[in-house]
């Protein structure tokens, strides 16, 4: 079973608007509920595919209860640690003319040492049947920076592959525990390196450097330029798909879900790239965060190109 760990859970409410302007009433043409919180997105995506998955992390309040219902409706097994505060509710405004989108996020959880100890017991139990661990996102108040290294280390001691996706200090702390795979975007790669690669060659060199330094494979997403993957001794460029974009929220989490499928099944990681980028392309076509139509996913699978790099 694939296990996800999301310390800072959330759900997203997305509204399509013609424009955004202060001090005006703006009418939305379409609205949709979706998952939030990076790796809980992964659980929601895998649930739609009918893949066994258990979602762990911290949750609270009415929004947390709604999140659990949404996950359970997709067959996801949930085992959250309930804490103080409220699971975040994120408002995403998408401009209908394609000019962009913005996210307004709320403050959320308050976690104590007691809650962390309770989580550790749930996590250790989940590891007994885990085939892959996916974890990431921000850390809520009360969760120390050593949270991710400890969680990753427990999985690695059991030879469970670990996919890790975070940013800032949490990313820098977690990568020290040598996860199996990270998926930085431009900003996150810049945080790790101290500079932003200016070419495909520089992206490749940077990803290889991270692999050598931390023992982790790397999928670096490059926005409209696609992505670059360094998997063991093999490297690939993944060109971007041409699909209609309803919302970009959660697309990167489709990549995580696809890689988790390959790890959990013991398949070549190239298959994970195909699954992941097809899922990402399908997610782009729906307004709800991390939602997708299975028909779009299957239509995109044969379109994924993996171009070997030297």
Long-range contacts of range 170-177, CB-CB < 8 Å, 24 or more positions apart?
170/138, 170/139, 170/145, 173/145, 173/146, 173/148, 173/149, 174/136, 174/148, 174/149, 175/210, 175/214, 175/216, 176/149, 176/214, 177/148, 177/149, 177/150, 177/152, 177/153
Grade residue 79 by pLDDT with cuts at 50, 70 and 90: very high
pLDDT digits (tens, 9 = 90+) for 128-186: 999 999 999 999 999 999 999 999 999 999 999 999 999 999 999 999 999 999 999 88
248-256 mean pLDDT: 93
The string of pLDDT tens digits covering residues 27-71 is 878 899 999 889 999 999 999 999 999 999 999 999 999 999 999
CATH architecture of the domain with residue range 2-21+28-308 = 3-Layer(aba) Sandwich (3.40)
Residues near 139 by beta carbon (within 8 Å), at least 6 away in sequence: 7, 8, 145, 147, 148, 170
pLDDT 10s digits, 257-299: 999 999 999 999 999 999 999 999 999 999 999 999 999 999 9
**Rounded to an integer, what distance in angstroms lies between the CA atom of residue 87 and that of residue 89?**
7
Token pair listed for 21 = 């302007």
Average pLDDT, the chain: 93
Average pLDDT over residues 67-87: 96
pLDDT attached to residue 157:
95
Any idea where the domains of the chain sit in the sequence? 2-21+28-308
């Amino acid at each position: 079973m694939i296990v996800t760990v999301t310390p800072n859970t959330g759900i997203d409410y997305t509204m399509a608007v013609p424009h955004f302007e202060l001090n005006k009433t703006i009418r939305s043409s379409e609205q949709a509920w979706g998952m939030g919180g990076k790796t809980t997105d992964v659980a929601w995506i895998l649930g739609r595919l009918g893949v066994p998955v258990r979602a762990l992390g911290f949750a609270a309040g009415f929004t947390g209860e709604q999140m659990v219902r949404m996950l359970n409706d997709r067959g996801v097994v949930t085992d959250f640690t309930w804490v103080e505060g409220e699971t975040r509710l994120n408002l995403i405004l998408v401009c209908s003319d394609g000019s962009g989108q913005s996210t307004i996020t709320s403050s959320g959880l308050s976690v104590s040492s007691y809650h962390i100890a309770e989580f550790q017991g749930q996590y250790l139990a989940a590891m007994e049947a885990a085939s892959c661990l996916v974890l990431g996102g921000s850390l809520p108040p009360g969760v120390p920076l050593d949270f991710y290294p400890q969680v990753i280390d427990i999985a690695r001691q059991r030879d469970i592959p670990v996919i890790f996706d975070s940013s800032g200090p949490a990313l820098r702390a977690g990568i020290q525990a040598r996860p199996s795979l990270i998926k930085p975007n431009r900003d996150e790669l810049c945080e790790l390196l101290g500079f932003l690669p200016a070419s495909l060659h520089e992206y490749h060199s940077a990803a290889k450097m991270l692999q050598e330094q931390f023992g982790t494979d790397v999928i670096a997403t490059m926005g409209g330029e696609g992505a670059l993957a360094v998997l063991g001794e093999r490297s690939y460029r993944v060109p971007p798909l041409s699909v209609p974009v309803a919302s970009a929220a959660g697309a990167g989490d489709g990549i995580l879900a696809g890689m988790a499928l390959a790890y959990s099944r013991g398949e070549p990681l190239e298959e994970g790239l195909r699954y992941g980028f097809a899922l990402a392309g399908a997610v782009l076509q729906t307004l709800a965060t991390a939602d997708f139509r299975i028909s779009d996913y299957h239509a995109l699978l044969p379109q994924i190109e993996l171009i070997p790099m030297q």
